[in-house]
Amino acid sequence: MRFSEILLTLTVATGAIWVVDSLFFSARRAKEVLSGPTDSGVKEPWWVEYAKSFFPILLIVFILRSFLAEPFRIPSGSMRPTLLEGDLIVVNKYDYGLRWPILGNQIIKIGSPKRGDVIVFKHIQKKW
């Protein structure tokens, strides 16, 4: 599983936990607290607190990596002398159009590669 797939899965899972808790369970917890002893406020389960905390961060990272920029490490010396093995580059994804994060299909075409641009290819291994 690639990093973008993991990031999408975590973003959807934390968002779903947040929405389901907000719609169904938070009102029930508030009602139980009001009917019970009045010494404490509404206490959320730890996993709901974590989901609510991580969701905005994961969503921002997912949007930035999917549509604006993504870091890559140079795996080989094929680009010497300008890029060396192990160099870290940040690829501007927005200049060449918006694509669906996992599928790779283009949504909006903004530009195309020009002479002198460095192009990054991802190796995708097909399973037969």
Q: 3-20 and 46-63 are packed helices; what angle lies between their axes, rounded to 10 degrees?
A: 130
pLDDT at 36: 58
Indicate the pTM of the whole model: 0.74
Please give the DSSP secondary-structure letter assigned to residue 79: T
CA 86 to chain centre: 24
pLDDT at 93: 86
pLDDT at 14: 97
pLDDT at 59: 96
pLDDT at 16: 97
User: CB-based burial of residue 11 (10 Å sphere; 0-12 exposed, 13-18 middle, 19+ buried)?
Assistant: buried
Residue spans per domain, the chain: 3-108
Per-residue pLDDT of the chain (128 residues; tens, 9 = 90+): 688 899 999 999 999 999 999 998 888 877 776 665 555 566 888 999 999 999 999 999 999 998 888 888 888 888 888 888 888 989 888 888 888 887 878 888 888 888 888 777 776 666 66
Residue closest to 113 by CA, chosen among 91, 86, 95: 95
pLDDT at 51: 95
Structure tokens at 106: 């283009």
Contacts for 42 with CB less than 8 Å, ≥ 6 apart: 26, 29, 30, 33
Any alpha helices (H) in the chain, and if so which ranges?
A: 3-20, 26-35, 46-63
pLDDT at 102: 79
Q: How far apart are CA 26 and CA 20, in angstroms?
A: 9
pLDDT at 54: 96
